[in-house]
Amino acid sequence: MVETANNIWADGPSADPYEPDKQQIREWGTWVEGSITAFLASGGKVYATRAALYADLSQTANTMAWVISDPTAAYNGIYRKNGAANSGSWTRLGDLPYSFIVATDVGAGTANAIQATTSIPVSQSALIILGVFEANTGSPVTVSFNGGSPLAVKTNSGNDVLAGGLIAGMQLLGVVSGSTFRLVSDQVSSAIIAAAEDAATRAETAADEAADWAELAKNNFVQNSFTGDGETTDFPLSVDPGSANNMFVNVGGVCQPISAYTLEHVGSDAYLRISGEPVPDDVEIDVRFGNKVTVGTPADGSITTAKLGADSVTAAKMSAADAVAIRAKIGAAASGTAITNTQMPTGSVVDSASATPYVANASLTAVIPRDDVAPPQISEGTEILSVSITPKSATNKLRCRFKGQVSRSAAGTVVAAIFATGTTISGAAADARRAVGVSVPSADQSFMADMEVEFVPGITTAVTVSVRVGPDAVAGFARLNGSSVGRLFGGSSAATLVVEEIKA
């Protein structure tokens, strides 16, 4: 049994599309040729529509007929007469045996929604050759034949055609497969080749331009040469000379005065413009330019100490405030006095305080709810760490860091929260400034709880920072530095709280 075209040219997985078997293609082609020969030998009939065929029952039994242009594509095909003349019915046996169908795209649709026409109806049994009218600008692309439903254009591996993948004038070869028009090839290479050639050209141009800029940087001359054509007056220069005064122009072996030419710009591109009549055909034009030295503004931080001359930084170039700050720092360093907050640069750690490490392994039963009703409250859980710090400035911020190894007597969550009291920051004083929940999947497993928060207390009086820990509402209690059995590591495992004051 001969396979259908739809099976022979099946898609296969997108990552590994099938390759058509040549033996099956030959068998299919032989079947098509045999069908046509048999049809002609048996005195077959041709009808425009299926309605016209059904209306003619005068044919004898087993008479073959073709329906070739019915508006309903599925009605076109090969039919056989059942029953004697003037009775019986017609039965559709298969698609029309066309090997190839030429489809025409005259631009009736859009670049991404192609509308094509064919002189004979399309089917899943025939290969279709479609000429592209214009390049596609997006993805996916669809095509409809003879006003039919749009079919998604897919590559042989089942992918959508990329934007620019279809080039105007190219010929596509594919088959109708369900709701898609499947190309015999993968992504069309024309667009890739065109893009590669364009990239190569731009790379060569950039390399030439870079070479000319390098010559200018070495204070060497750059030469561009052109040939007159009797029409052109503006000639593109490889780099920008900066001024016509830097250009020396020679036309036909004769040096030109500066009044005979100008330097013009179109966007960032520079052009030599020859004044007066265009240079005649085949007359050589040479322009040489150079000695252009661009002095830019040094980038921030680009001038190092080694580049400064001795005694080049004088008091006259220093602000009064900086001079006072420098004298204060020098005096403090000489006397051993600590540098004050005002003398420290922004971002400096001007003070720090550490809570006494928590090394116990007590059972913590007070719950801290694990929900989103409100932040953890200072009345919840058990306080394990506390430290006090007095900010040096109301605009400085405090950075609080907590670390601790937590466990649980039963599966659940251990919640830890940082609180700060005595501040003027917004929000309820009892609310946690930061909280973290550590899930413990089974009893006596240990996990690290780690959190950090920064805030501006807005005062220069003492601020108390504390950490509270507790289990969530699930049954069981929380512990630190070990398990429900007892403490581990002989006190070397400890929960810590460090508070640093950062200069604003």
Task: Summarize pLDDT for 388-409 with one digit per residue, the tens.
Answer: 999 999 999 999 999 999 999 9
* pLDDT above 70: residue 218: no
Torsion-angle region of 169 (φ positive above 0: left; ψ -120 to 50: alpha; else: beta): left
497: nearest Cα among 459, 460, 469 = 469
What is the pTM (predicted TM-score) of this model?
A: 0.38
- Answer whether residue 399 is part of any domain: yes
Expressed in percent and rounded to 5, the helix, strand and coil fractions of the chain are 20, 35, 50
Strand ranges for 228-290 from DSSP E? 234-236, 247-251, 254-255, 261-266, 269-274, 284-289
Q: Which CATH number characterizes residue 274's domain?
A: 2.60.40
- Answer whether residue 69 is part of any domain: no
* In a shared domain, residues 361 and 324: no
* pLDDT above 70: residue 109: yes
* In a shared domain, residues 236 and 328: no
* In a shared domain, residues 498 and 353: yes
* In a shared domain, residues 423 and 487: yes
* In a shared domain, residues 331 and 369: no
105: nearest Cα among 139, 145, 132, 126 = 132
Under the banding of pLDDT at 50, 70 and 90, the label for residue 205 is low
- Answer whether residue 5 is part of any domain: no
* In a shared domain, residues 317 and 388: no
Q: Are 176 and 122 in contact (CB under 8 A)?
A: yes
- Segments forming the whole domain that contains residue 332: 310-339
Q: Are 436 and 454 in contact (CB under 8 A)?
A: no
* In a shared domain, residues 399 and 489: yes
Under the banding of pLDDT at 50, 70 and 90, the label for residue 387 is very high
Mean pLDDT of 489-500: 93
* In a shared domain, residues 427 and 487: yes
For residue range 124-168, list pLDDT tens digits in order. Answer: 777 888 888 998 999 999 999 988 899 999 988 888 888 888 888
Using CA of residue 100, residue 106, residue 108, residue 110, what is the dihedral sign? positive
Q: Which of 339, 358, 381 is the last residue of a domain?
A: 339
Report the SS3 class of residue 122: coil
**pLDDT given at position 293:** 54
Residue 475 CB coordination number (10 Å) = 10
Q: What ranges in 102-239 are assigned the alpha helix state H?
A: 189-217
- Answer whether residue 124 is part of any domain: no
* In a shared domain, residues 221 and 363: no
- Answer whether residue 110 is part of any domain: no
For the chain, give the percent of residues with pLDDT over 90: 40
- Answer whether residue 282 is part of any domain: yes
Report the SS3 class of residue 104: strand
Residues pairing with 385 in the sheet: 467
For residue range 29-73, list pLDDT tens digits in order. Answer: 676 666 665 555 555 788 989 999 999 999 999 888 988 888 887
Residues in the chain: 504
Report the SS3 class of residue 230: coil
Instruction: Find tokens 């009605």 and name the residue.
Output: 75
* pLDDT above 90: residue 200: no
CA–CA dist 101, 112 (Å, integer):
22
Count the domains in the chain. Answer: 3
Mean pLDDT of 3-28: 70
For residue range 357-379, list pLDDT tens digits in order. Answer: 999 999 999 999 999 999 999 99
Q: Which residues contact 336 (CB under 8 A, 6 or more apart)?
A: none
98: nearest Cα among 71, 72, 76, 115 = 76
- Answer whether residue 238 is part of any domain: yes
CA–CA dist 127, 99 (Å, integer):
6
Mean pLDDT of 92-104: 80
Residue 419 CB coordination number (10 Å) = 24
Q: pLDDT: is 290 or 38 the higher one?
A: 290
CA–CA dist 260, 160 (Å, integer):
57
* In a shared domain, residues 223 and 334: no
CA–CA dist 134, 167 (Å, integer):
6
**pLDDT given at position 262:** 92
* In a shared domain, residues 447 and 396: yes
* In a shared domain, residues 396 and 475: yes
Q: pLDDT: is 115 or 19 the higher one?
A: 115
Q: Are 77 and 96 in contact (CB under 8 A)?
A: yes
- Answer whether residue 173 is part of any domain: no
260 exposure class (CB count in 10 Å sphere: 0-12, 13-18, 19+): middle
Instruction: Find tokens 């398990």 and name the residue.
Output: 483
Residue 47 CB coordination number (10 Å) = 20
Report the SS3 class of residue 436: strand
Q: Are 388 and 353 in contact (CB under 8 A)?
A: yes
CA–CA dist 67, 96 (Å, integer):
8
